[in-house]
Structure 1
């Protein structure tokens, strides 16, 4: 196994507390760009994920938390994807990858997601309480929730953060399915024969894409729930 400095490392200056816990080791960047053994990447993914999580759990410095929270924003997604994106969903790097990608998506399309939430969760339910979102969130509410879920994973109860992420994904998946039903329920254009025209090829493709995204989100929700269960049993590594 490689030492923890192989992945995410401190700057190495000043106090023992790292000033940039999310900084990628330049040597690792060079290795990844040149191509290395998949087993070594797998080992690096587990070491870097555990190191990053452990480091933030043992600090009270809000600047460090902020740097970890915005890791993908600052470092870009490519190298992090090289490390974590192929990791099994039953592993810590696989779960962290999904959390970071969920946050990125929530912030990138906060307006659209707020609409999907209102479709999927029109009234307060257990999912609303678990995810921490009210029935009519604004885009700003979605962005704040995105940060809250990810920061909670690093500074609070990791399993609870995963349960929040799971509940959120489930509601958005329901919203996607509701949007398809709503589109199908709208009156279709009427042709010369007086018969309603179908949505056409484009409409069919759109429906397939949306339902495919909903199915993917449902699977991600299950991954988060399983991750929470494994974490509580000290089996997520």
Structure 2
């Protein structure tokens, strides 16, 4: 098991170095090939042998190393693909970790306004403060590697729908008094709603063994 973790630990820790070696240009076909091959190899390896230490490193990767290397890996992949789904989950995690207070505000505003089962699917306590949301997204990330991958995507999608609703309501609140702030929340709401749709579509593809 330790041997397996060493095989993929190095590129996961320093993916930028790996890509400098794999391609030096901006060839879209090569970028796509590497994105899909690395995502598939990583997920297959860790899910076959979900060593706790390795899963911990993957869950905490962006907190320890930042998001730039992951962007180099997967940010240009199609939204409804395996690397695209992984990128969106890591980016969502980074958003919550970086400003858990705002994430909690959006989530609370959304859950009290949205009449759906999304709050149950997401799985956060009610009310959910900053610490609870950090724990929630880390738990969802863990599910990617050692749980039901599709359920993890659906939980993240539900979270996105709730916070998108919260961001929309806050944008309305600030529309007159602080239009720039309202615009920021509107942009975030649109992005989160789009992520929700993409993650749900990716979950459906995963269940049909068609998420590549």
Deviation at 1:80?
A: 2.2
Instruction: State the secondary structure of the residue aligned to 2:4.
Output: coil
Q: Whole-Å Cα distance in 1 between the matches of residues 116 and 128 of structure 2?
A: 14
CA distance 1:181–1:135, shift in 2 (3 Å): farther
Deviation at 1:67?
A: 0.9
Q: Whole-Å Cα distance in 1 between the matches of residues 108 and 202 of structure 2?
A: 27
TM-score using structure 1 length: 0.80
Cα displacement string for residues 101-124 of structure 1 (whole angstroms, at most 9, x for unaligned residues) = 011111111111111111111289
Contact in 2 for aligned 1:122/1:136 (Cα 8 Å): no
Structure 1: stretches of 5+ with no match in the other structure: 1-13, 185-197
Q: Whole-Å Cα distance in 1 between the matches of residues 101 and 166 of structure 2?
A: 13
Q: Whole-Å Cα distance in 1 between the matches of residues 168 and 3 of structure 2?
A: 50
Q: Which residue of 2 aligns with 1:180?
A: 171
Deviation at 1:87?
A: 0.3
Q: Which residue of 2 aligns with 1:67?
A: 57
Equivalent runs, 1:113-152 vs 2, <5 Å: 113-122=103-112, 126-152=117-143
Structure 2: stretches of 5+ with no match in the other structure: none
Q: Which residue of 1 aligns with 2:148?
A: 157
Q: Whole-Å Cα distance in 2 between the matches of residues 75 and 139 of structure 1?
A: 21
Instruction: State the secondary structure of the residue aligned to 1:18.
Output: helix
TM-score using structure 2 length: 0.88
The answer to whether the aligner puts 1:58 opposite 2:48 as a matched pair is yes
- CA RMSD, 1 decimal: 2.3
Runs ≥4 in structure 1, deviation > 4 angstroms?
A: none
Cα displacement string for residues 134-175 of structure 1 (whole angstroms, at most 9, x for unaligned residues) = 331111100000101111111111110010000000000111
Task: Answer 1 or 2: higher relative contact order, Cα 8 Å, separation at least 6.
Answer: 2
Greater helix content: 2
Q: Which residue of 2 aligns with 1:111?
A: 101
Contact in 2 for aligned 1:92/1:236 (Cα 8 Å): yes
